[in-house]
Chain A
Amino acid sequence: MKLIKFAAAAFLLLVGIGARAGEFSAGYTIKYGDFHGDGGRDLFIQAPAAKIVPILLDDMIIPVKVCCTKDLFLVNDGAGSFTMVSDPSPAQRALAAAWTIAEEMIANPRDIDLDGIIDLEIVGIRTLIGNGNDVILYGNASTQTPTMVTLNPRIRRYWAQVSGWLADNNFFHANAPLVMTPGSTPASPRWFASVLNPSNTTLINMFLSQCRSRFPGSQCGTTPVFPPGEPCVRNVAIYDSQGRYIGNTNTNLCDYPLHIVYYEGGNVTYQRDYSVFEPDALETADILDRLNDGCHAMPTNDQERLESIIESQIIRNIGNVLASDTANSWPHEPFPEDANYVQQDITFHHYDVKTRICKLSEANCTLPIVKDTVHRYFTYPAYQLRPTMTPIDGVTVHTAYITAPGATSFPSAYIWAAGPIIQQWIQSSVWVGGTRNVTQNGHVVYPGTISRHISVKGDGIEVFTHGMGHNRAFCKLAVENRAMQAFIGRGNDINGPLAFGQLDHEMRKYWRQRYRPGGNNKIEPVGPPDEINPALE
């Protein structure tokens, strides 16, 4: 460990951890003024001057060059959003020089998307711009122009919940409200409180806590059904979304979607209602949990992610080790699991494969047949790539098979046991309805996920395979073995698309033999898979 710290210090001294062009750092100033004379308030995000600062790393002080993304404007559209003006002209900078510093807003630098590049979260915009949403400026490794995302309430909830889970893995369980299960609703529940926003777990849990405290002999839970026999309209205390008392007023409680009730006696069954959380947040936490099952292979907090990045920089630059990832993927909507991986980890790899299965003009080239039937037999590489129906229940363990270099085009050669996987349905994002294979401890390229999604594209139906992972196979091995893990990851990055392309080929053959007119039980020669890989074109 001492050696690693020394190497880290040497590395940081040489290159500077904050030297990347498109990264944010501490020291940004927010000003406000009128950019184009429309009377509205716009924002100027002023970068700190580049400088050398001492950084304390354990017991060593290291001079680090701090650099940053350049100044930029956020021009208010009057509807709550902003347009970014990057690389402003000297005249525009001069205009902003006289603007007022927005003391009420906070520029918070942190690696929000876990890609190893520091981003900038700007919060408190509403204190000066009534309807303005907060924004995140995502730093980019290859350009000084950041990517801006407006922090709508849903994205806010997602990050808050994922952060809550990262800080405490019991977060979802502890904060999920108790709900009466259908069929066991008591005959005479009594009203205690109602909540307008069913996903406001802070408020729900506050009322549940108050309910239990006030009625210690009763059970308290939530239900969407307003208690029968209780008056809908009544004078009640009103609280804001943070649970702060506002005042009393007459309200029709039957208009509220969720109610906190208490019940005395009877046999009541409650269950935790996880639907109040963002599905993406639950899925992200669940995948990370499974990937770490039996072997802590994935970082679960910012400190571990930073250590992984620094370690990889050292191994890459001083150890002369090739990173696992090769140019065989392309930009696309992220899968829910992607946020778990650290892209700057030296073993990180990402590959994509698209294969057309059939043309819509062909008989039986439909989603019910291709997606819901045929693909169910080709969700993972089974022994010799044989069609294998699986339950996709998140529990059953299957063995995935690979083959040797040179033999990737031959299904009968897929007899090398790569190791255990479990399977899940993708439950959120634009890829909902797809399937996901999650490698388990003991798999040669663990941890990793391979997702497959079937959709209509153009005049055909295609299967899209998206593989992503680190490689901490034999996770008990120390950092000295990272070179081997990176090497194995690279092999997987190259082999994965070939193996899944071949699996797609078998899937297409299966469809042709069973669903194309005249194809029943007919073994016919087929050409190579129609792989569409823009990254390689």
Chain B
Amino acid sequence: MIAALVAGLVLAGCDSTSGESRRDQLAVTGKPFGVSDSVTAYCATRPVVAMCEEFAPRLAEFLAESRDAEWADSMERQIAQWMLADRQSPFEMRALECRRTRCAFEYAVTTDAYGQTLDGYEELDRHMELTGGVTAPELTSGTGHGKWVSVMIWRKRS
């Protein structure tokens, strides 16, 4: 499956120099999904963060599903392509898994690259609708420097 994904990305125009790091990132695809500690910690903050309140049940719905390999493989490929199609992409994939009708995806980005927009979201949006998510700060030992970690949950459009 990973080989197929890499082939797909090469066709989409990825350069070979960053292929190794992309393969590293793609290695997370299809593995059992879990969120980073920074997300867990952020959503444990009190008073509770509003986006976390809405995110928690969406994640639970995803985790309760079984996997439809054909649909899941296809969607995982599309999400990875959206994230990594731009060879200058500053985004770091951390976890990606689709199941029967839902996908969960976690990625990270530095503050400096926070504003960078990824093309190709419309294609994803045609197949799935975003139903929940959270973006959490991940600081390096309280220095004020760090990354933003986002989790997105999609649902198959009927």
Using CB atoms and an 8 Å cutoff, list the residues of chain A in contact with chain B.
315, 319-322, 399, 402-410, 412-413, 415-420, 441-444, 474, 480, 483-484, 486-488, 490-491, 494-495, 498
User: Could you mark each residue 138-153 of chain B with 1 if its beta carbon is under 8 Å from any beta carbon of chain A, else 0?
Assistant: 0100111110101010
Could you say which of B109, B111, B129, B142 contacts A483, with CB atoms under 8 Å apart? B142
Known contacts A322-B144, A486-B144; is-contact A407 B118 (Cβ 8 Å): yes
Which of A399, A404, A413 has the most chain B CB within a 10 Å cutoff? Answer: A404
Interface of A is mostly: mixed
- Kindly state whether residue B31 has any CB partner on chain A within 8 Å: no
Question: Given that A319-B144, A405-B114, A487-B139 are known contacts, is A416 also in contact with B133, CB under 8 Å in the complex?
Answer: yes
Task: Name the distance in Å between B118's Cβ and chain A's nearest Cβ.
Answer: 4
Q: With the chains together, A416 CA to B109 CA distance in Å?
A: 17
Chain A residue at minimum C-beta to C-beta distance from B121:
A410
Q: Which residues of B lie under 8 Å from residue A413 when comparing CB positions?
A: 121, 130
Min CB distance, B76 to chain A, in Å?
Answer: 17
Binary contact readout B4-31 vs A (1 if CB under 8 angstroms, 0 otherwise): 0000000000000000000000000000
Bound form: Cα–Cα A402–B130 in Å: 13
Instruction: Enumerate B47-71 residues with CB–CB distance to A below 8 Å.
Output: 47, 49-51, 53-54
- A319 to B143, Cβ gap below 8 A? yes
Q: Does B45 touch A at the CB level, under 8 Å?
A: yes
- State whether B114 touches A415 (Cβ < 8 A): no
- List the B side residues contacting A320 at CB < 8 Å: 143-145
Once bound together, how far apart are the Cα atoms of A418 and B134, in whole Å? Answer: 10
Whether, in the assembled complex, B158 has its beta carbon less than 8 Å from a beta carbon of chain A, the answer is no
Q: Are A410 and B122 in contact (CB under 8 A)?
A: yes
Asked if A417 and B54 make an inter-chain contact with CB atoms under 8 angstroms apart, the answer reads yes
The residues of B with any CB-CB pair to A shorter than 8 Å are 45-47, 49-51, 53-54, 83, 91, 107, 109, 111, 113-118, 121-122, 125, 129-135, 137, 139, 142-146, 148, 150, 152
For the complex of A and B, list the 7 residue pairs with the smallest distance between their C-beta atoms, beginning with the closest. A321-B144, A404-B150, A417-B50, A483-B144, A406-B118, A416-B51, A409-B117
The residue of chain A having its C-beta at the shortest distance from the C-beta of B151 within the complex is A404
Q: Which of B50, B142, B144 has the most CB of A within 10 A?
A: B144
Q: Is A494 touching B144 in the complex (CB atoms < 8 A)?
A: no
Known: A321-B144, A415-B132. A404 touches B139 (CB 8 A): no
How far, in whole Å, are A419 and B134 apart by their CA atoms in the complex?
Answer: 13
What are 23 A-B contacts with C-beta separation under 8 Å? A320-B143, A320-B145, A321-B144, A403-B133, A404-B135, A404-B150, A405-B91, A405-B109, A405-B135, A406-B83, A406-B91, A406-B150, A407-B118, A413-B121, A417-B50, A441-B47, A444-B49, A444-B50, A480-B142, A483-B143, A486-B144, A487-B144, A494-B115
CA distance A399 to B68 in the complex (A): 36
Shortest CB-to-CB span from A75 to chain B, Å, is 47
Rounded to whole Å, the gap between the CB of B112 and the closest CB of chain A is 8
CA distance A280 to B18 in the complex (A): 56
User: CB-nearest residue of chain A relative to B47?
Assistant: A442
Whether B51 pairs with A484 at a CB distance below 8 angstroms is no
Report the tally of A-B residue pairs with Cβ distances under 8 A: 107
Q: Which B residues are in CB contact (< 8 Å) with A399? A: 50
CB pair A487 B133 closer than 8 Å: no
A484 to B145, CA, bound (A): 9
Q: Which residues of A contact B83 (CB under 8 A)?
A: 406
A416–B121 contact, CB under 8 A? Answer: no
CA distance A488 to B117 in the complex (A): 19
- List of A residues within 8 angstroms of B139 by Cβ: 483-484, 487
Most B CB atoms within 10 A — which of A441, A442, A487? A487
- Alpha-carbon separation in the docked complex, A407 to B139 (Å): 22
Chain A residues whose CB sits within 8 angstroms of the CB of B122 once the complex forms: 410
B72 to chain A, nearest CB (A): 21
Contacts of B145 in A (CB 8 A): 320, 322, 487
Q: Which residues of A contact B53 (CB under 8 A)?
A: 417
| Chain B residue contacts of A498, Cβ below 8 A | 115, 117
- Identify the closest chain B residue to A444 (Cβ): B49
Q: Which residues of A contact B143 (CB under 8 A)?
A: 319-321, 483
Cα separation A533 to B144 with both chains bound (whole Å):
27
Write out the residue numbers on chain B whose beta carbons fall within 8 Å of the beta carbon of A486: 144
Contacts of B152 in A (CB 8 A): 404
Contact residue among B46, B107, B111, B132 (Cβ-Cβ distance under 8 Å from A494)? B111
> Residues of B contacting A319 with CB < 8 Å?
142-144
Provide the residues of chain A in CB contact with B107, threshold 8 Å.
Answer: 406
Given contact pairs A406-B116, A417-B54, a sample of 12 additional A-B residue pairs in the complex whose CB atoms are under 8 Å apart? A405-B116, A408-B115, A409-B117, A412-B129, A416-B135, A417-B51, A442-B50, A444-B51, A483-B142, A487-B111, A487-B137, A487-B145
Contact of A407 among B46, B51, B121, B137 (CB under 8 A): B121
Known A319-B143, A404-B150; judge A412-B50 contact (CB<8 A): no
Contact of B51 with A418 in the complex, beta carbons under 8 Å: yes
Q: How distant is B108 from chain A, measured CB to nearest CB, in Å? A: 9
CA distance A403 to B150 in the complex (A): 9
A315 to B91, CA, bound (A): 29
Query: In the bound complex, what is the Cα–Cα distance between A321 and B140 (angstroms)?
Result: 11
Give the contacting residue for B137; candidates A402, A403, A412, A491; CB below 8 A.
A491
